């Protein structure tokens, strides 16, 4: 795992700080015990203690004897959303340009609140032999069973199009955040490096979810280019 040339406890503090300031760790959330954090992050207990002391001094967490450590209520910077519309064909075109290999990874089935089964898959996409994207997929299991071999090894958006799954609406959100220890190891990047997080959802005509995905790209491997159509009248 790649690390910056800074003290390890500062990196741990930065990871948790990003999680708090992004809202990933909500106000009032109880942090895992020191031993659990130490095991999760793969660092010494004293490193976690130093990181927690730093965050307490910054007013981001508070310790309660016998109860644990909790996230304090802090002002989270509000993101400004730039809303744009695009044709579904543009997403298909973008995906078709990606020359990546999708490696079959973890898979399981989970029942949703509406009683439907969803196939959960986590896998890596690689380009030129190097990690390009970590993907967490949630796909209607009835759809998955139409082409299980393809869904396991190919980009889901392309397979959905090829087998004729009707998508009535779709949306996608892109944010910039930072790699924690686990993500840095998976993508072979430095801890706290910037990453693009893409959240994508497809729905059917009844508004039911067909497919969702969380895609995470290293910040230096992706850029977005938008071409605006100009009204000539």
Domains defined along the chain, listed by start: 8-71 (1.10.10.10), 88-218 (3.40.1410.10)
Q: What is the pLDDT of residues 116-169, one digit of tens each?
A: 999 999 998 888 888 999 999 999 999 999 999 999 988 999 999 999 999 999
- Which residues lie across from 100 on neighbouring strands? none
Sign of CA dihedral 73, 174, 188, 7: negative
E strand or H helix that includes residue 99: none
The pLDDT, as a whole number, for residue 116 is 95
To the nearest whole number, what is the mean pLDDT of the chain? 89
Q: How confident is the model at residue 230 (pLDDT cuts 50, 70, 90)?
A: confident
Q: Is the pLDDT of residue 46 over 90?
A: yes
Say if CB 140 and CB 121 are below 8 A apart.
no
Q: What is the DSSP code (8-state) at residue 124? A: E
Residues 132 and 126: beta-carbon distance below 8 Å:
yes
Helix axes 45-57, 8-21, angle to 10 degrees: 50
Query: What pLDDT was estimated at residue 153?
Result: 87
What is the distance between the alpha carbons of residues 214 and 20, in angstroms, rounded to a whole number? 20
Instruction: Indicate the pTM of the whole model.
Output: 0.81
Which of the residue ranges 58-67, 186-195, 203-212 has the most confident prediction, judged by mean pLDDT?
203-212
Give strand pairing partners of 195: 177, 218
Read off the pLDDT of residues 3-39 as tens digits, 9 standing for 90 and up: 566 788 999 999 899 989 888 889 999 999 999 988 8
What residue spans of the chain are helical by DSSP H? 8-21, 34-41, 45-57, 88-97, 141-144, 148-153, 156-162, 181-187
CB atoms within 10 A of CB 147: 15
Question: Residue 13: which of 64, 68, 69, 65 has the closest Cα?
Answer: 69
Q: What is the CA radius of gyration of the chain?
A: 20
% of the chain residues with pLDDT over 70: 97
3-state secondary structure of 29: coil
| Rounded Cα–Cα distance for residues 72 and 25 (Å) | 10
């Amino acid at each position: 795992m790649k690390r910056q040339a800074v003290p390890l406890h500062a990196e741990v503090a930065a990871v948790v700080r990003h999680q708090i300031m992004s809202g990933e760790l909500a106000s009032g959330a109880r942090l895992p015990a020191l031993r659990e954090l130490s095991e999760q992050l793969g660092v010494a207990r004293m490193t976690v203690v130093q990181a927690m002391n730093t965050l307490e001094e910054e007013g981001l967490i508070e310790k309660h004897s016998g109860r644990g450590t909790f996230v304090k209520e802090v002002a989270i910077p509000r993101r400004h959303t730039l809303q744009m519309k695009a044709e579904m064909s543009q997403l298909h075109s973008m995906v078709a340009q990606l020359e990546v290999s999708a490696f079959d990874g973890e898979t399981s089935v989970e029942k949703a609140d509406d009683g439907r089964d969803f196939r959960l898959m986590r896998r890596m996409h690689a380009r030129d032999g190097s990690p390009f994207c970590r993907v967490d997929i949630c796909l209607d299991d009835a759809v998955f069973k139409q082409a299980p071999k393809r869904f396991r090894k190919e980009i889901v958006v392309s397979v959905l199009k090829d087998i004729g799954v009707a998508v009535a609406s779709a949306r996608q959100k892109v944010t910039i955040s930072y790699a924690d220890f686990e993500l840095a190891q998976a993508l072979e990047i430095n801890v706290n490096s910037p990453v693009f997080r893409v959240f994508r959802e497809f729905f059917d005509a009844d508004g039911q979810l067909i497919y969702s995905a969380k895609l995470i790209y290293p910040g230096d491997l992706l850029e977005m280019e938008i071409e605006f159509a100009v009204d000539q009248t």
